[in-house]
Every structure is written in C-alpha cells, then in structure tokens.
Structure 1
C-alpha cells in the first residue's frame, strides 16, 4: 500500500539540479523492481533538505537506511490553522469552485484570528455583535505579517507545513508563529515541526507553537523541542455567561458566546434522549448526546433541546438540522471556556443540568428561554484553562514544557468574512471579529511579545528572547493582563501553587511583555549547545552532520551528560517520590543584558524536604554581554509527585526568576 512520506536529508543544498539528481538516484535504489518509477512530489531546497514521495512501507524502510537520510516519516495530519501557495499532494485540476478553496484566502477564520492577535494596528469599536466590545490590537502593532497557508479542508499536512517553513525561513522572517498541534515524539527529527523549528533557530528565527488542547490529562503536551517555545492557555478576567429561565421561574446561569436572543419568549423544552430518530436507526444512547442525525425533527422542531456531553463540537450540526430553536448542554468539564453556536445555547454544570432534566421529566408542559450572553468579570482569573495540555515532556523529561502561559480563553480577534462563525450548519452570520478559545489563541500572544522584544533587541538569539519571556513570567506576583493585547486591566497573580499540575500546566507563568524587554540576565544558547544536547540524547555524529552541514561530532568534550546541562531558563529534575537521596546538578550560564555594572544575589525558594544550593550565590558584572557560570544542586526527598520551587537572581533593579520543579513521572 502506497503512502505519502517525507524524507528528511538535513541541511539544504542550493544547487537544485544536483539535489534532484540525488533524490532520483535514492528513489531508484529503494523502489521495488516491478514498480512504476517513483516521483518526487515536492522538495525542500531553501532552508533545509528533503523531499516528499509516495512509497510502500518496505520502500520507506529501505530509504531510512540510506546514507544521507536523517529520517523518513509519514505525512501526518495536524490540527488546524492557516495562509500562502502549499498543497503538495492535491488534485491539481482548477475549477471556479476550487478557486477560493485552493487560494491563499482564509476560508475558516483560524489563521485570520491568530495573525491579528500576533500583530496588527488598533481597531476601535471591535466586537462580536456587541460582545467583547472595545479596541482590538495585535501584540506587535507595527510588525509586518507574512502568512503561509498550510491547512485545507481541516487538514494540516506536515509536507505542506515544512514547505511553508522552508519558504518563511528563506524569506527572512523574525518570528514564526504556528498554532498547530504537534507531537510528543521521542525522536526530534521524526517530527516535522521540530525539524522546521531547528532550522528556524539556526537562522536566528524564534519558533512559537501551541502546547495542545488535550488537557487536563498529564504528559500530553505537544511541540516539545528545546529550541522552540510551547505555549499553554490561561483564562482572562472576563467571561461570557448565558442566563436560562425555566417556565417555573427558576433561573440558571451557564456559559457560551451567544449573540442570539429568544427575547424572553418561552419555548417547549425536550430532553434529547426522548427524541431519538427511529427512522434513521438511532436510539436514546445517541440522541441523549444530540449526535449527528440522532434527533427526530418532528419531535424537536421549534423546541429547546437538553443534551448531555462534554464538548459542543459534535452537537453543532444536528440541533439546527433538526429544527430546534435552542439547546442546553450539561456536562462535568470546567466552565472556563465558552463556545459559539448557530442558535441560542448555554453550557450548564452538571447539577444545574440535572435540575433542568428533572423539570422536563416531572412537568406536563415544560418551557424555557435562553438569553443573549453577558460579559462579567472573572474574579478567579487568570487560571490554567481546563483544555490546555499538560506536561511532563515525554521526549526529554527534564526539559520543562510547556514553557509559559498566555491568554487563550474567549479571545476576540479578526475573522475572515467568508468563514463560518461557529462551524454550525445553517449559521449564516458573517462577522469581522469572533471569540474563540484554544492554545492556538495563546500562541500568537507570545509570538507578538517575542516580536516586541525583537524590535528592541534585533541581535538577540531565539534562546535569549525565550529566556526573557520565561524569567519575567508572572506566577506568584503582580500579573497585569497587559499580557492580553485585548484587555488592559489589572489582574490577580497566577496561582500556580494551587494547581495540581504545577508548572506542568503553566510553565514559568503568564507572559509580561513590558518586563521581558528588560530581563536583566538571559540564559542564552545556540546551535552548538543544541548539538551537544542531542549528542547526550543519543543522536549520532553522522546524523548531526547531515542536519548541521558541518563536522559536528559527539565526543566526551562535545556531549552534554544529561539534559540538565543545556542552558535552559528553567530547572526540571525527575525523581521517585517517597524515596531518599534525590539529587541532581544543573550547569548554567547567565549573560548580562541589564546594567553594565551590577551584582546579582541568588534567592532560592525550596519545597519542604529539599535542599537547593546555588554556587556561587553572588555574581558580578562589569560590562554588558559578560557571562557568568553557576551550578544549581538539589538534594533531599519529595513526598509528592510534583513539588515546585524557584531561583531568583536579584540586583535590586531586575528580578530574574526561573521555576524549579522536581517530579515523578505519572503512571500511564
């Protein structure tokens, strides 16, 4: 069986004719003797080397063994985002109907939303039909945006993503913002996004990714490469609540982004489980969740439907399709995320949903109405969004991921006028702004902040910019929501110590772009540092030479013994809890980017049972750019699966904070 594969060959070669000749000879060497000649569908030639081809599994295995090949992996599909000229394995016929579909235009809205969050001028009077009203702006208002379209029909293929990165790197962008679901592969060079980010780093480009929307399950964070930034999602100090009135004068408050209003008119309400579509072969086990085609239109038309379930995604099409005028969804997930739908709706917590269910069951003519959403202050914000993916990092346990957190819940930003507002069949609204949630939304907040830092420090490396964002992250101290470029309000501290996943949920804390411009010290790293890290992870000299294009080799002098030796601005130590003799040392170097003459003192906050030392505990500088080395050592025992501390370097003007986490891996 043929499948599309990506053959990654490492560093790019500028001589295109030589490159294609090499790839063709490689294909001839591996293709089955009785097979038709294989064709290179696309080749990457500007920033890194590789090609796309259809192969059998046996041919792919033979290809992986050839000299000059770093890795061979299937062209996997990723989760959404968007916009340029990439559809490698596509129907090339061009018709009027496909003109918009296969054009750079954003037909789904996701790309427009994320791009306008990262950069863009101020727009007054922005709102989603009155919700979230105010002035919208991108993180870096004066930045120029280059958009590369890689997603089609909900498919974001790695081959297309790599093509976009190849061009973007060659185009000389400064920041690459990719709100795309990644992987937690053990092999960094069998992951297309990790490959792309490595070559971006080589070219001085910051790569920012979303951490994933699969929380709160542990150890499922995505985009794990240490040369990129993975961003988790936090709530804002606003939320949208939607009031529901029952015919017996009881009122319940749910959450949704509901721009539609039944204007207080009472409608009959029915439980989805009582309206199965028998003619379509559905029963109560499906209709109770309001799954597609599971509801009988004759029973739900003109009524509000009460549905069970945790996510609105599967609910959106059938309620409109079946003719309902509204719906209520009951579930047990946290109510920290609203949703938009093509008809009035509200998500109720379980106990309220049970009350509505009882009302329907024990009332002869049950009725209800749903009101337009109201915006209220969320006094608990900012908190980690329930959907935000958690660590630890399965590729390299002692590299903390996610790196940090940014607003990703109920974010208002620009929207493509040809895109569906809610992905609901029958929703005809055409808007210039939309309110959606996800780590896709938090990612461009960090991208905008990185661009803001870059505008002040154009010569800083990607690692220096990441360090500035991490060490100024706000976890237990004042945290202004100026980190959210839509709302400039004061906010409470991120309560990382109250979160059972600790830094595995929020990294170093919420971004503070204004402080990140002047971090005082940075933990810098470059390609040679990551090569030493990769040597320590078991990558061979031969493979690394293909990737770097130089004579890099793994020797005792060029290999980091463990991931703890990488100059990362956070500290993560894996240990068994309940055991004695927990210990480990971290070797770090800080670079002075604050005051030319300064002296920093180390302040350590250690969890109970652990002794954390920093040697030396005082470092002095006499010029900018000067470097100082130190060792942080941890000894003792932990009595919980995760314990947290911190290291702060303080010179009286700058406070450079790094999280410290000691953890036991969760049981699968």
Structure 2
C-alpha cells in the first residue's frame, strides 16, 4: 500500500488509510497494472472513460484525501509498456472461485507476491487481477518464483501466459433456417458475448433500428476509445492487452482491424443486410441466426495473438456483465490440462453461472486428436461445408482451362500475360536459390524476370512474394486440400499437383507461355455437408471417453459483415434455444443441439464422429428436442473426481464443500450425463462398458419413447435397459443404462441410440475405438 501511494505521489494520514484502501481497490477495478511509473493496460470496470482521461479520474477519486501539488503517475512515455527482463515470463496464477464478499482481492494478490518477491518487486510484477467471476492474477515471474507461487495456499494452478491463435448468407438457408423461421419474443433479451478481435460497429449488420434499450440484466460497459460507440445492438465493448505491447497495425480499442471478430458477431447475431456480396460473389441477404439478439464485444486478439491473461480477463468480465452465451473461436496449439487451460477455466466458471461457452474445435485437421477445446462443459464445434463453392479458372495460351480454388475478385479482363516458373527466377540479391524462389518466398523472386508475368509457385503461399516482385498473378500448386477458398493479394488460383504439373510442363514446352486468371465463380456442391480438412479432429486427447467434437456447423466460405471462415452458427443456435427456453441450463442447451443434429456420412468423412461429432447443426429441431440430458455443477465435479482430482483441489476451485466420495473412480467418466457414448479400449481385449444416463422430458406431457440402436458390427452389441421410457409429465426424469460388450473388429466402430416417441427423435452417437493414432 505505502509503495503504491508513493508511486502515485500521495502522502496520506494514518486515519485516512482505510478510505484510501477502498479508493485504490476501486482504482484497480479500472487498471490491470501500474508498473515502472507507466500504465501497461487499461480495462474499464465501473466508469465510462477514455484512456487519456484516466489520470484525471484517478486524481478526482483521491483528491479529497490530501491531493498532491502535481500528478503524473505515468510519466511521459504513454500507455505502452516496455518489455521486462528476458529472464521473466508472464504467468497466470489461478485461484478458483472468488473469495467471500468483503475480501480485498487485490491486497491478497499483492500479499502473496510479497511473500515470494518482496514488497517492491511485487508492486511492479502484477499485470492483471481477476475478481468479478473468479479469482486469480497474472504476474511477471521467473520459473523458480512460479514454482514457489504454485505451492502457496489457495493456488489451484500456475501456468505460462501463452498466446492462442484464431480459428478461422447462404449457410443459414442451407441448414433450413430461413428468414421466416419461428421467433421468440424474448430473442432481444439474449446477449451473446463474442471474445475475438473486436468489432467494426459501422457495418450495417449492427444497426439497431427498432431495438429497445438493453435488458435490465446487462451490467457491462462500452469502453470508449478511438471513436467507437455502442448502440442497442452492440450493447457493450471492451478490450484487453495485459502486456501493453501493441503492434503497428493494432487499434487500441474494441475496434476490429483484422475482421475475424466482426465476422463471428455478424454470423451469430447480425441484422439483415440485403444484396450482400463479396465483389459480386455469394450474393444474397447476409444475416445472423438471431438478428434481434444483443452483442457484447470482448477484444482479446491482436496482431501477436490472443493471450491466456486476456482470455481470462474477458471471461471474468463477460460472466459478471450478464451475457447468456459466450462465443470463442480461439484455441491453443497443444492440449492442456483442464485447469491449466484458460478457455476451460473460463468456461467452467461460466457454466457455474448458467452460461454456455461455444468453442471451435480448432484448425489443425485432418490429423486425429488435434482438437484443443474439449472440456465437457463447453460445446466444441467442427467446421463443415455448405452447398456453395468458389472456384477460379485459369486459361493457358494453348486454350486449355484448369479450375483451381480461390476467391479472386481481380479482373484481368481476359487479357493474357507471359508465364514463368518461380524456380527459374531466383533473386540474386540475397543469394536466393531456385528452391526458395520455386515456393515464392517473400523477396526470393527476381523482379527483372517476374514483373508483368503470372508466376507458378510450388507452395500454397499468400501471394506477397510474387506481388513484391511485380507479378500480375500467381498459380499455386501443392497437394493440400482444396475444400476452402482463400483470397489473395493479387489474382491467384490454388491448383492440385496434377493440374499444376501440367501447367509446369506447358511452361517448359514453349518459349511463349501465356495465361490469364478469371474472376471467381460459385458452383453448387452436391456433396455437402462434409467436414473441412482444416477442422481439428477427435478423439478427446485428455478424456477420450467424452466424445469431441460435439457437432459440426458451417465454417467454410461464409459471407457475413466481413468475409472470413468462422464458427459462430452454433452460438446463434444456442441463443435461439435460449430465447425459447430462458431457464434451461448450459448442458440442456448443449444436449438439445447434439441430439437433434442431422446425421452425417462416414463415407464423406473418414474419421466419422471424430470429425463431425453427432452430426450437422439443425437449429429448428433443437428448440423442441423432446428429451434432454441435463448436467449440473455437481455432475461435473463428480466427473473431475473421476479424472483423479481430489477433494482438496476441487474445493480450491469451487470455494465450497465439493467432495470426492471414497467410491469415486474412473468409472465415473462413463456416468457423466453426456448426450453421447464413447469407449476407448484395446483391440485385443473384450469390451464391456456400462453407461448410466438420465433424460428429462421437455416434449409432450404424456409420451412413450422407445430405444432404437444402430451398431454395425457382429463382434459387439449394445443393449439399452430399459428400452422403453414412459413419461407422464413435462420435467419428469427417467434413467436408463447403455451396455456395450463384445470385441473390436475394427479400429473404430460407430453407431447411435435414438429415443423415438413418434414426434421427437433424440439421437446420441456411440463410438468404440481402439487407438488415437
């Protein structure tokens, strides 16, 4: 306390210290950190302000207590912090649920750091504190200091503050979700929290015409910076940068400079925008799934990625602000333990507060076990295609036409240009070789040879290399999948190796090779939907008994407020369900989406359920699923007990009397009331697994459901006991068992259980697998 007051330049009477402490607690509500006499990050909490006004606010907050003659706590260096000593790293210290009311959280954090670092170092070390929805902080520590911190009382986990990556019209119609679909009058009361790159509020997708003021439950703010304003559509906007280090292209506000956040927000809850298109492509009406829902923006991603510290800060605020659904298309490069993963931690506390977190599966497919968002309290979504594809034709001088994949809006007006293979044009400046120029690395091409020509490249690249060298266009050939169309910085088309090799032969067969690249066209893809090659696959790398991903939804070639690939359709569908069933729990909403998904073909998706989960999103059926598999916080605690977390650990997370019973063991994993069934076993052993499940009737009061099982193998069988469930009231719960026994005759055997009453079909996938390789 004394050190912080000295930094601020105040001399305070002993009798005033209690009041000063209260004021400084309020001050820390709007400051993540004061270090080295400069501010590294500002996160408004209780007031509406511009960062440049913060010193004035601090002064007015404390002025009645003996104000100093001068006030300049931040010096003349501005709001961007310098890098700290290289031997220090940023660590997240996670401490579970918030302490009881009245506990000075910031003082607690500072006291803990003082025990490890000493008083002076503690003040400079803290980057950010979490206190609204859970407890924790971020600090600059050495590895040894982090180890000491991990052993302190009340600390659940300590992990490096790593950078995460972004997972990046026609889609709603493709799913049968038309503009005229049934709407609930309470749709405008639903708030979707979008944790992403921010938002571009001027987009027509976010106009608030006809919308009433935000619902009374809303407790958030619009963080005023760089001329961004909220309205009755975008009702809140915050930004987070715990290290205070901004790139040259970063906009220091909730405003979006990248486009991903604008896309996800508009896909989920954008208003209707007629005649939307991307320079003529994908023309139609762009709209979100719940156009009357409200959007709360939490900017966590910047040019250098999305840090764990900022992700947790956004969860901390979003939960307390009053959002109903959290949408997050971000993930790590590798799987993490549940309580060393910022997204799993944030989503756990969201679940405890009745909020469903919807996450993308990831962008590291098609290899198996690449999914990184897989906690059972989140809804993990794979990216699938719709029935529209963009292609770009290339016509050679010999009149042969090849079709590649890209989104090319440049018009060469059918003019032909000379061609050159990149490997024949290495740049002598920099001593580049033909192997470098062949893949068109930046600066690797000789401008004297490339300028004014179309370049053939041996790799899928951004096109910046040819553009810098003065090329007119680029043809990119490799063996990567062609199910996703990308835009480039110059006319370009992405070709497979077969066609690319034919073009290479053509270039070398004549001294006057020429070509033109056409503007892109769109065609109907009759094979859709199928899972995109980039979408991360299961099984769940930490708990293979929990099937992940949960389902798939359109995430390829979507036209929204900004064109980019995204996965926010399920967030919209969850909000749609919430508008009809405002009292449903997160697991009830998740269950309704999983059990009503449309089955997908394993013939089009070789990884079957590990690619698409229960199937393809079907929002209309999801509002009336008939039965739901509901889970409470206690169910998830029991699941964690089965994961070998003990009572002491879980009580630190929950700050209550959570208990793992003596009989709790790994079999509890099978008993989590999840709407799918997965068994991980060895191919040489006999399979026997019993799943205990309970379903709640949310359909007709008097209903009889019969179990229908499909499991196509002769060496194992699935039994359901009882196989008939008779309900006499809405809300009634009935339990059953699913028994799987036999031996494996394939590495993956999948089927399904359907509860059918004639009007509703609640379908759950069943997967038995022997390997995750």
Fold equivalence (TM over 0.5): yes
Q: How does 1:19-418 map to 2 (within 5 A)?
A: 19-31=105-117, 38-80=124-166, 81-83=196-198, 84-91=238-245, 101-182=251-332, 185-309=335-459, 311-312=460-461, 315-415=462-562
Whether the aligned pair in 2 keeps the contact of 1:198 and 1:227 (CA below 8 Å) is yes
2:591 maps to 1:467:
yes
Whether the aligned pair in 2 keeps the contact of 1:13 and 1:46 (CA below 8 Å) is no
More displaced stretch, 10-19 vs 225-234: 10-19
Whether the aligned pair in 1 keeps the contact of 2:530 and 2:604 (CA below 8 Å) is no
2:728 maps to 1:604:
no
Aligned with 1:521 (options 617, 624, 627): 627
* 1:152-186 deviations in Å (ceiling 9; x for gaps): 21421110111111111001100000111236535
Q: Distance in 2 between matches of 1:145 and 1:99?
A: 25
In structure 2, list runs of 5 or more residues that go unmatched: 1-86, 167-195, 199-237
In structure 1, list runs of 5 or more residues that go unmatched: 416-433, 476-493
Q: Distance in 2 between matches of 1:62 and 1:38?
A: 18
More displaced stretch, 145-154 vs 70-79: 145-154
Shift of 1:277: 1.2
Shift of 1:602: 0.2
Q: Distance in 1 between matches of 2:520 and 2:657?
A: 61
More displaced stretch, 150-159 vs 266-275: 150-159
* 1:83-138 deviations in Å (ceiling 9; x for gaps): 2231111149xxxx979721111011111011000102111000001000000100
Q: Distance in 2 between matches of 1:99 and 1:281?
A: 31
Whether the aligned pair in 2 keeps the contact of 1:16 and 1:45 (CA below 8 Å) is no
Alpha-carbon distance change, 473 to 159 in structure 1, aligned in 2, over 3 angstroms: same
Q: Partner of 2:671 in structure 1? A: 565
Whether the aligned pair in 1 keeps the contact of 2:361 and 2:380 (CA below 8 Å) is yes
Shift of 1:607: 2.1
Aligned with 1:643 (options 738, 744, 749): 749
Alpha-carbon distance change, 518 to 320 in structure 1, aligned in 2, over 3 angstroms: same
Q: Distance in 2 between matches of 1:624 and 1:558?
A: 32
Q: Partner of 1:661 in structure 2? A: 767
Q: Distance in 1 between matches of 2:735 and 2:359?
A: 30
Q: Distance in 2 between matches of 1:394 and 1:17?
A: 38
Shift of 1:642: 1.0
Shift of 1:565: 0.8
Alpha-carbon distance change, 39 to 186 in structure 1, aligned in 2, over 3 angstroms: closer
Shift of 1:66: 0.9
Q: Distance in 2 between matches of 1:281 and 1:587?
A: 67
Q: Distance in 2 between matches of 1:110 and 1:236?
A: 19
Alpha-carbon distance change, 13 to 372 in structure 1, aligned in 2, over 3 angstroms: same
* 1:517-564 deviations in Å (ceiling 9; x for gaps): 000000000111000000110112112112112111111366663311
Q: Partner of 2:573 in structure 1? A: 449
Whether the aligned pair in 2 keeps the contact of 1:12 and 1:46 (CA below 8 Å) is yes
Q: Partner of 2:186 in structure 1? A: none
Q: How does 1:547-562 map to 2 (within 5 A)?
A: 547-556=653-662, 561-562=667-668
Q: Partner of 1:429 in structure 2? A: none
Alpha-carbon distance change, 184 to 155 in structure 1, aligned in 2, over 3 angstroms: closer
Whether the aligned pair in 2 keeps the contact of 1:600 and 1:619 (CA below 8 Å) is yes
Q: Distance in 1 between matches of 2:332 and 2:373?
A: 5
Alpha-carbon distance change, 134 to 464 in structure 1, aligned in 2, over 3 angstroms: same
- The alignment partner of 2:768 has SS state of strand
Alpha-carbon distance change, 120 to 622 in structure 1, aligned in 2, over 3 angstroms: same
- The alignment partner of 2:540 has SS state of coil
More displaced stretch, 457-466 vs 325-334: 325-334
Whether the aligned pair in 1 keeps the contact of 2:463 and 2:474 (CA below 8 Å) is no
Q: What is the TM-score with the length of structure 2 in the denominator?
A: 0.78
Shift of 1:362: 1.4
Q: Which gives a bigger RCO, structure 1 or 2 (Cα 8 Å, sep 6+)?
A: 1
* 1:4-39 deviations in Å (ceiling 9; x for gaps): 011000011365762122212211222279967653
Whether the aligned pair in 2 keeps the contact of 1:392 and 1:665 (CA below 8 Å) is no
Aligned with 1:587 (options 674, 677, 692): 692
Shift of 1:343: 1.1
Shift of 1:226: 0.3
Q: Partner of 1:421 in structure 2? A: none
Whether the aligned pair in 2 keeps the contact of 1:560 and 1:566 (CA below 8 Å) is no
Aligned with 1:13 (options 99, 108, 128): 99
Q: Distance in 2 between matches of 1:543 and 1:248?
A: 71
Q: Partner of 2:34 in structure 1? A: none
Whether the aligned pair in 1 keeps the contact of 2:686 and 2:744 (CA below 8 Å) is no
Q: Distance in 2 between matches of 1:555 and 1:386?
A: 43
Whether the aligned pair in 2 keeps the contact of 1:329 and 1:353 (CA below 8 Å) is yes
Whether the aligned pair in 2 keeps the contact of 1:181 and 1:212 (CA below 8 Å) is yes
- The alignment partner of 2:507 has SS state of helix
- The alignment partner of 1:48 has SS state of coil
- The alignment partner of 2:755 has SS state of strand
Q: Distance in 2 between matches of 1:43 and 1:37?
A: 12
Q: Partner of 1:622 in structure 2? A: 728
- The alignment partner of 1:245 has SS state of strand
- The alignment partner of 1:165 has SS state of helix
Q: Distance in 2 between matches of 1:75 and 1:52?
A: 8
Aligned with 1:545 (options 633, 647, 651): 651
The runs of at least 4 consecutive aligned structure 1 residues that moved more than 6 Å come to 32-36, 97-100
Q: Distance in 1 between matches of 2:122 and 2:626?
A: 61
Q: Partner of 2:222 in structure 1? A: none
Whether the aligned pair in 2 keeps the contact of 1:273 and 1:284 (CA below 8 Å) is yes
More displaced stretch, 456-465 vs 21-30: 21-30
Whether the aligned pair in 2 keeps the contact of 1:184 and 1:224 (CA below 8 Å) is no
Q: Distance in 2 between matches of 1:448 and 1:37?
A: 43
* 1:458-485 deviations in Å (ceiling 9; x for gaps): 000000000000000111xxxxxxxxxx
